[in-house]
Amino acid sequence: MFRYKIKHPIDLIRPFILQPLCWKGNNFLTTRSRKKFFLSFGDAITCILKQYKCSPEKDIVLMPNFFCTETLTVISRFLNIVFYKINDDFSIDTKNYFEQIERHKPRVIWNYNFLGIPFTEAERKKIKDLCAEETIIIEDAAHYILHQEEIHAINSHHFYIDSIRKHSSFLGSHLINANFIPQKDMVENWNIYKTKACFYRLTQNFIDFCFYFSNAKLFSILGNNIFLTLNDIIGNYSRPTLGENVSYFGYGLLDLQKIRKHNKNLALIYNHYFQKLKTPLIKTLPNEVIKKSRLTSYYPLFVEKSILRLLEQYLEKNGIFASQLWKIENYYSGLNENLYDSFIVFPLTWLIQEKEIIYSYKKMKEFFQNHKQ
């Protein structure tokens, strides 16, 4: 049974784009340099660290102690890692953060929290006071959509990096606020790695297209598997690779404000239904925190560790994509291990409708009813 009716020829291409278009030019990323658009978040990171000739023997990076450990491995090739604390509710322990800056005087500071809640103006001023002019500051916007008014450069080496594949059908990462153009011999324009990544992205878009029209569980499972396969290869190439033109120009046509508002509303709808489950085995974030956040890629749900894997498997069998955000693939002393195993995430995309969230809620309800028995 088809869930979607074609009313206009353009309806045939909308599933490939998967987002609303904007012809008014309110996407500020269209004014950014094509030469600073990379295939992935990892490629953009590698470019910065190579550009500044960072070395683990002499340079320190201050990182959050809740982060993708595979990306930490990439960063450790260039920098000596020191952590600041992330609390169990995803917030930054600002007292510890500032203490670590004062203690270690890092060459690179990596600002990240999963909810995307920015520093206050007073906190930004304190960072500026503690840092040298040449301190490299990286704002990690991989899990949210960035708006132009949210860019607050503390110095001339303050960068923002996004990851558009998390919230769109395109592939790439913008290196924003960079005051340099990558040298030609530092980056690659095309290689096997890029070919494979683009192939998997196109395959996933085609499968999403099929699911969009048919609502068949098989396509949902296939799409999730392709996403995870792409996740394994993306950003793992030794030389920074530039993104492709279709994603660069296509993403520039998206109405990012509308997408961000829509995805934030989805997170609140998830919260509304999951709060009805009334079980001590899960916990939702307060609505006020979600409203204050910049969640646009994933909705987090805290789950008791003893049932987390069982719940993941149950949802997967029912065609629902929900998993841990990161697993500890490579161990680093000082990580907030408890946080890695305390929650699962559900996707936030333009195609998700309330009825799909209700379906997830009903399957969760079934799971907890069976678990009691």
Domain ranges of the chain: 20-194
Whole-angstrom Cα distance, residue 311 to residue 363?
A: 10
Cβ–Cβ < 8 Å for 271, 287: yes
302, β-bridge pairs: 283, 343
Q: What is the mean pLDDT of the chain?
A: 90
What confidence tens digit (pLDDT) does each residue in 79-123 have?
999 999 999 999 999 999 999 999 999 999 999 999 999 999 999
How do beta strands 80-84 and 108-111 pair?
unpaired
What is the phi/psi pair of residue 262, to 5°? -60, -45
Q: What percent of the chain has pLDDT over 90?
A: 71
Q: What is the pLDDT of residue 259?
A: 92
61, β-bridge pairs: 81, 108
Q: What is the pLDDT of residue 184?
A: 86
pLDDT bracket for residue 8 (50, 70, 90): very low
Q: What is the pLDDT of residue 221?
A: 81
| 160 to 14, 41, 109, 141, 205: CA distances (angstroms) | 29, 11, 12, 7, 27
**DSSP H or E run through 79:** none
Of the ranges 159-168, 229-238, 335-344, which one carries the lowest mean pLDDT score? 229-238
Residue 129 pLDDT greater than 50, yes or no = yes
What confidence tens digit (pLDDT) does each residue in 144-192 have?
999 889 999 999 999 999 999 989 989 999 999 998 999 888 999 999 9
Residue 373 pLDDT greater than 80, yes or no = no
* Contacting residues for 67 by C-beta, under 8 A, at least 6 apart: 110, 112, 326
Dihedral sign computed on CA atoms, order 106, 110, 113, 119: positive
Which class would CATH give 20-194? alpha beta
Cβ–Cβ < 8 Å for 226, 204: yes
Cβ–Cβ < 8 Å for 155, 133: yes
Q: Which residue has the tokens 């297209």?
A: 209
**What DSSP string runs through 119-138?**
PPHHHHHHHHHHS-TT-EEE
Cβ–Cβ < 8 Å for 60, 107: yes
Of the ranges 133-137, 174-178, 212-216, 258-262, which one carries the lowest mean pLDDT score? 212-216
Residue 68 pLDDT greater than 60, yes or no = yes
What confidence tens digit (pLDDT) does each residue in 261-297 have?
999 999 999 999 999 999 999 999 999 999 999 999 9
Burial, 114: exposed, middle or buried (Cβ in 10 Å; 0-12, 13-18, 19+)?
A: buried
Where is pLDDT greater, at 7 or 147? 147
Helices 192-214 and 217-233: crossing angle in degrees, nearest 10, is 160
Structure-token pair, residue 181: 């153009």
The arithmetic mean of pLDDT across residues 194-210, rounded, is 91
pLDDT bracket for residue 236 (50, 70, 90): confident
Q: Using alpha carbons only, how large is the chain's radius of gyration in Å? A: 21
Q: Helix H segments across the chain?
A: 14-17, 41-51, 69-76, 94-104, 121-130, 192-214, 217-233, 245-251, 256-274, 287-292, 305-317, 337-340, 354-372
What is the strand order of the sheet 282-283 is part of? 282-283, 298-303, 343-347
pLDDT bracket for residue 26 (50, 70, 90): low
Report DSSP state, residue 88: T
347, β-bridge pairs: 298
Q: What is the pLDDT of residue 12?
A: 40
Residue 7 pLDDT greater than 60, yes or no = no
The arithmetic mean of pLDDT across residues 33-56, rounded, is 94
What is the strand order of the sheet 60-64 is part of? 37-38, 173-176, 158-162, 136-141, 108-111, 60-64, 80-84
Dihedral sign computed on CA atoms, order 43, 45, 51, 56: negative
Whole-angstrom Cα distance, residue 274 to residue 267?
A: 11
The arithmetic mean of pLDDT across residues 204-209, rounded, is 86
